[in-house]
Structures are given as structure tokens and as C-alpha cells.
């Protein structure tokens, strides 16, 4: 039996195929949610695992629900695009997407994507939290403090 969600996805895919767009128009669900956080002005690495069957496929990171090509931030075929970069470890079946110079507007939902015939595969959803301030500088002071550590921030 065909569910309404899959019928809608099929129709969406046909529409985008006819218009020669490559957008992933239907994301039913992602297999896992990854919670990442980083600090404003710093960078964050997002690690996305995939099955070995997708080893030779293009990988990408996109923002939101990946409903259109504009949502794709960086692809493994281009490796760097502005503040975004990506590298694929095909032997261990994961790719790492990096967002540099984080700002508060970078917080939110991302998807790890794998391009394939038909519907793209989304092995992971990423929830990114961007924190303000410094990472917290920790000092270890030996001597009078007897090897105690403390945070400056």
C-alpha cells in the first residue's frame, strides 16, 4: 500500500526531475540525530557516518530540510565553499563537514546527505547549538595550588 507521504514524495520527485533540478524534495526521516555545539567565532566539525554501499557516492551537508539546491552548503565534489568544507573517509565510511567562524545564526538543523538515484539518503540529522563567549580557558597551576585546576572563564 502506498502511503500519502510517499505519494507526495514521488510527485515532488517527478516535478523536480522534469524541471531538471537536483533538489531533494522529500525527507521522510534521518536515521540518527547528532547534537553538536560550538562557540561564536570558532569552527565546528560534524562527523556523518554512512553505509559502505555509498562509498563512491557524493556526500553533502545541507541546512534545514534540504528541500532545494540552495540548502546544500558544501558537497564532497567541491570540498570547500566559503565557510564550509568537507572531507570523505571512504575507508572508514564517514565524512566530516566543517563550519568555520560560527555565528548565532548558524544554530539549527542540518542534514548529512548522500546523493543517490531516486531519493537521496540522509543518514544523520544534526542539531547545532552555537554558544557565546570563550571556550573556557583552563589552567593547571602546580606548586602552591597543589596540582589543582580551575577555569578562568
- Give the CATH number of the domain where residue 128 resides: 2.60.40.10
Distance CA 112, CA 95 (A): 9
Decide if 143 is inside a domain. Answer: no
Decide if 12 is inside a domain. Answer: no
pLDDT in tens, 28-57: 445 679 999 999 999 999 999 999 999 999
Instruction: Name residue 86's beta-bridge partners.
Output: 97
φ, ψ of residue 8 to 5 degrees: the values are: -60, -45
User: Which residues, in sequence order, are CB contacts of 69 under 8 Å at separation 6+?
Assistant: 21, 22, 23
Decide if 139 is inside a domain. Answer: no
Percent of the chain at pLDDT above 90? 61
Decide if 3 is inside a domain. Answer: no
Distance CA 134, CA 152 (A): 10
Decide if 153 is inside a domain. Answer: no
Question: Chain-centre distance of CA 72, in angstroms?
Answer: 10
φ, ψ of residue 125 to 5 degrees: the values are: -105, 140
Percent of the chain at pLDDT above 70? 67
Decide if 148 is inside a domain. Answer: no
Decide if 20 is inside a domain. Answer: no
Domain span including residue 77: 27-133
Distance CA 124, CA 101 (A): 23
Question: Does residue 68 contact residue 22 with C-beta atoms inside 8 Å?
Answer: no
Residue 133 is predicted with a pLDDT of 78
Distance CA 83, CA 127 (A): 18
Decide if 19 is inside a domain. Answer: no
pLDDT in tens, 63-110: 999 989 999 999 999 999 999 999 999 999 999 999 999 999 999 999
> How many folded domains does the chain comprise?
1
User: Residue 13 pLDDT > 70, yes or no?
Assistant: no
Instruction: Name residue 95's beta-bridge partners.
Output: 48, 88
pLDDT in tens, 49-65: 999 999 999 999 999 99
Q: How confident is the model at residue 134 (pLDDT cuts 50, 70, 90)?
A: low
Amino acid at each position: 500500500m502506498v502511503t500519502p507521504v510517499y505519494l507526495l514524495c514521488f510527485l515532488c520527485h517527478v516535478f523536480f526531475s522534469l524541471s531538471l533540478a537536483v533538489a531533494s524534495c522529500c525527507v521522510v526521516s534521518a536515521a540518527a540525530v547528532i547534537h553538536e555545539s560550538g562557540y561564536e567565532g570558532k569552527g565546528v566539525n560534524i562527523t556523518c557516518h554512512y553505509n559502505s554501499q555509498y562509498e563512491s557516492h557524493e556526500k553533502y551537508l545541507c541546512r534545514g530540510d534540504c528541500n532545494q539546491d540552495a540548502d546544500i552548503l558544501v558537497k564532497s565534489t567541491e570540498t570547500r565553499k566559503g565557510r564550509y568544507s568537507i572531507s570523505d573517509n571512504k575507508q572508514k565510511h564517514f565524512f566530516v563537514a566543517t563550519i568555520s567562524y560560527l555565528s548565532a545564526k548558524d544554530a539549527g538543523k542540518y542534514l548529512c546527505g548522500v546523493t543517490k538515484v531516486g531519493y537521496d539518503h540522509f543518514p544523520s540529522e544534526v542539531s547545532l547549538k552555537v554558544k557565546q563567549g570563550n571556550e573556557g580557558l583552563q589552567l593547571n597551576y602546580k606548586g602552591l595550588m597543589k596540582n589543582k585546576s580551575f577555569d578562568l572563564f
